[in-house]
Amino acid sequence: MTLLQSITDALDIAMTSDHTAVIFGEDVAFGGVFRCTVGLEEKFGKERVFNTPLCEQGIAGFAIGLSVAGANAIAEIQFADYIFPAFDQIVNEAAKYRYRSGNLFDCGSLTFRATWGAVGHGALYHSQSPESYFAHTPGLKIVIPRSPAKAKGLLLSCIRDKNPCIFFEPKILYRSAVELVPTKDYMLPLGKADIMLEGSDVTLIGWGTQVHVLREVADLAQEKLGVSCEVIDMVSILPWDKETIFQSVAKTGRCIVSHEAPYTGGFGAEVAASIQEECFLNLEAPVQRICGHDTPFPHIFEPFYLPDKWRCLEAIKKVTNF
């Protein structure tokens, strides 16, 4: 399956296994602009799969109300760049609903799906990675898959989790990421990182699309520098798997965190700060962050903005020569 097919499959399974599940958002009834909901309206009917007005704040508010009323709300935000009008509803209402009611009420059966990250031609309004904005908010779970098999299991986990979840989907991987995906119903744990490649010299940490860049960088480092890299996919931004990352950094003594979002205030800063708190005596070099630049996301200059394999390779040289 491609990544988009695995997401469609997960949504189909969720709708089949839970009669309260409802999918809604801009253009989802005819399949969505990326075709992730193709065939679902025909299969489950217009009462369970339907379009909304172009109003992200309204989509989020409606989703929260639907969840509180007992439905399993699966809301699509067409692009993560346009999730910001819904920001207040998500961080001030959804994330705090259980807390403010003293656990009398909650909106746990609530998932926001949104396309995420660079796509090659998206420019400033169709390329952003806003995960760190939401990571500052207790009460949310944030997940970014790297592959079709991970996407299916993680999306089903989000839909069935009793906390509001944001599921960011790397849109450049929708059709380019292809692998064998189990057709059965399965879930994968939230908050558990994956060690994709074991190594001994440098820990490389990323999520979503960037994991594939780091995997390529690890091969380059081995080939050109003789450096053994351990590649970790964080999988979940909130909660994040500190134990796996700390154990890896304690072993390698060097760490590089890489993401597409801008350098300042990106989630890599949180990871780097936590590593120096817990692994300071194990570090052989300062933790490096290789990220997008502190500018709006460019159009024709996208190749210079993204943290590509050559920028990451330079960081490996820097930490190994420190």
Residue 83: how many CB atoms within 10 A of its CB?
A: 24
Q: Strand 21-25 vs strand 49-51: parallel, antiparallel, or unpaired?
A: parallel
Q: Strand 165-170 vs strand 110-116: parallel, antiparallel, or unpaired?
A: parallel
Q: E-assigned strands of the chain?
A: 21-25, 49-51, 72-77, 110-116, 141-143, 165-170, 194-197, 202-206, 229-233, 236-238, 255-262, 288-292
Distance CA 83, CA 90 (A): 9
Q: Strand 49-51 vs strand 72-77: parallel, antiparallel, or unpaired?
A: unpaired
Please give the C-alpha separations between residue 313 and each of 7, 274, 287, in angstroms, as whole numbers. Answer: 33, 23, 14
- In the set 26, 56, 93, 230, the catalytic residue is 56
On the question of a cis peptide bond just before residue 53, with omega within 30 degrees of 0, the verdict is no
DSSP SS3 for 229: strand
DSSP 8-state assignment for residue 102: T
Establish whether 126 is a catalytic residue.
yes
From first CA to last CA, the distance across the chain in angstroms is 43
- In the set 26, 126, 131, 212, the catalytic residue is 126
Distance CA 13, CA 279 (A): 42
3-state secondary structure labels for all residues of 256-287: EEEEEEECCCCHHHHHHHHHHHHHHHHCCCCC
Distance CA 318, CA 322 (A): 6
Q: Give the active site residues.
A: 56, 126
